[in-house]
Amino acid sequence: MSNRDINLARYDGLEGSSLIIALSDEFGPRLALVSSFGAEAAVLLDMTAQMSPAIPVIFLDTGKHFWQTHLYRSKLIDHLGLEDVRLISPRAGELARTDPGSTLSASDPDACCGVRKVQPLERALAGFDAVLSGR
């Protein structure tokens, strides 16, 4: 199913829990949530956990997070009862080739985001037809 096959008008006016339920009903296991697990993300994670704790939640571990982010993520997973959190990260070989000193962000931020965010997220979302996010 592609974006042009989806009648987005059917979701007009839906917000929060109602939107999550409608998307979950339509897409089932082909629905995922992408989350930073930041403080603001907790609201969407909580709504999702209440509606369907088995919705896959994708967390992109760029290798640049503070340890506190990982700790907070673990606490939220346990507290909310999220059942399918998938930790994705850049491929080690790709990082070794493109950012061996872990300094690419200073010289070429776009390339850094490409290898640390864009490529891993594209791989993780393959097979999903709909994605929830806080954006």
Tens digits of residue pLDDT in 58-78? 999 999 999 999 999 999 999
Let me know if residue 125 belongs to a domain: no
Q: Is the residue at 8 inside a domain?
A: yes
CATH of the domain at 84: 3.40.50.620
Residue 33 domain flag: yes
Beginning with the edge strand found earlier in the chain, give each strand of the sheet holding 57-60 in spatial order.
85-88, 57-60, 31-34, 130-132
The answer to whether residue 122 is domain-embedded is: no
Does residue 40 register a pLDDT over 90?
no
Rounded CA separation 103/63 (Å): 12
Would residue 13 count as lying in a domain?
A: yes
66 lies in which domain range?
Answer: 3-89
Residue 39 pLDDT level (bands cut at 50, 70, 90): confident
pTM reported for the whole predicted model? 0.88
Q: What is the count of structural domains for the chain?
A: 1
β-sheet bridge partners, residue 33: 57, 132
> Is 19 inside a domain boundary?
yes
Residue 118 in any domain: the answer is: no
Residue 104 lies in a domain: no
